[in-house]
Amino acid sequence: MTGRKSCALVTGATGKVGAALVERLAARGMTVHAMGRRRAALKELAAATGCIPAVADLADISAIEACLADIEPDVLVCNAGLGRAGSIAGESAAGIDAMLDVNLRSAMHLLRLVMPGMIARDRGHIVFIGSMAGHHSFAGHAAYHATKAGVAMLARQARIDLIGRRVRVSEISPGRIRTDMFAKALDLSGEEAEKRFFEGYEPLLPEDIADAVEYAIAAPERVNVGLIEIFPTMQVAGGMTMAKGGAASDGN
């Protein structure tokens, strides 16, 4: 990458995983643009890591376009994600649209904006932070599953679209991570979420996701790490669910 420092753009930068990614890429000597909605949190992250804040709501495509007007990312990390509890039958129109906007629609527009430059330079790396929910089914959260499955397919399709170019595409698909996502999705206090989802468990940590991303982007240029599925050792996907008398019971 002669003539300038490598440039990265990380979305969802003010969440715990996003902040860990920004910190890790900055530590690798990259110029990191950190995209998120919370201006104050981005300012704090910039002070801690030296990143460049990019304030944007991912539901606002014009805001994304404005942020990218003067950025030529060598690495794009589509990390932002939104989850909500409940089945599709009980979801609101606004809830469905919000997950589509943040989880999938914004990623497609980011690729639309970033891929032409990567193709012209014949280099780049696109990383999607997906979810086990995009590859494995469990009860509830239908819209979240659908959007994350869309992310998984988008990653595969982008790889196909980029054949013949030195532009790599990776999906990191984690299981349970110690973040505030459960608290937000289920409208729980931090203490309630801690007790329900983390107390007594051994979840992944944000730095584990940063490790996986670093592994993918640090691989030799001839190597494309397409998919990393990363689970806590004490978590598995699958198990049997059966319905008895109209009520579903978890077989795990």
Supply the pLDDT for residue 142: 85
3-class secondary structure for the chain?
CCCCCCEEEECCCCCHHHHHHHHHHHHCCCEEEEEECCHHHHHHHHHHHCCEEEECCCCCHHHHHHHHCCCCCCEEEECCCCCCCCCHHHCCHHHHHHHHHHHHHHHHHHHHHHHHHHHHHCCEEEEEECCHHHCCCCCCCHHHHHHHHHHHHHHHHHHHHCCCCCEEEEEEEECCECCCHHHHHHCCCHHHHHHHHHCCCCCECHHHHHHHHHHHHHCCCCCCCCEEEECCCCCCCCCCEEEECCEEEECC
Instruction: Report pLDDT digits (tens) over 174-211.
Output: 988 987 776 666 666 777 777 777 778 788 999 999 99
Residue 15 counted as domain residue: yes
Residue 246 counted as domain residue: no
Residue 107 counted as domain residue: yes
Number of domains in the chain: 1
What is the C-alpha to C-alpha distance for residues 25 and 244, in angstroms, rounded to an integer? 50
Residue 236 counted as domain residue: no
The CATH number of the domain holding residue 167 is 3.40.50.720
Residue 239 counted as domain residue: no
Supply the pLDDT for residue 202: 87
Residue 237 counted as domain residue: no
Residue 238 counted as domain residue: no
Residue 36 counted as domain residue: yes
Mean pLDDT of 224-231: 96
Q: Which domain holds residue 219?
A: 7-230
Q: Are 206 and 180 in contact (CB under 8 A)?
A: no
Mean pLDDT of 216-244: 87
Which pair of structure tokens corresponds to residue 202?
């051994």
Supply the pLDDT for residue 217: 97
Handedness of CA 56, 21, 154, 241 (dihedral sign): negative
Supply the pLDDT for residue 198: 76
pLDDT at 44 over 90: yes
What is the C-alpha to C-alpha distance for residues 79 and 23, in angstroms, rounded to an integer? 14
pLDDT at 251 over 80: no
pLDDT at 252 over 60: no
Q: Which of 144, 152, 174, 197 is catalytic?
A: 144
Minimum mean pLDDT range among 41-45, 105-109, 225-229, 232-236: 232-236
Whether residue 144 lies in the annotated active site: yes
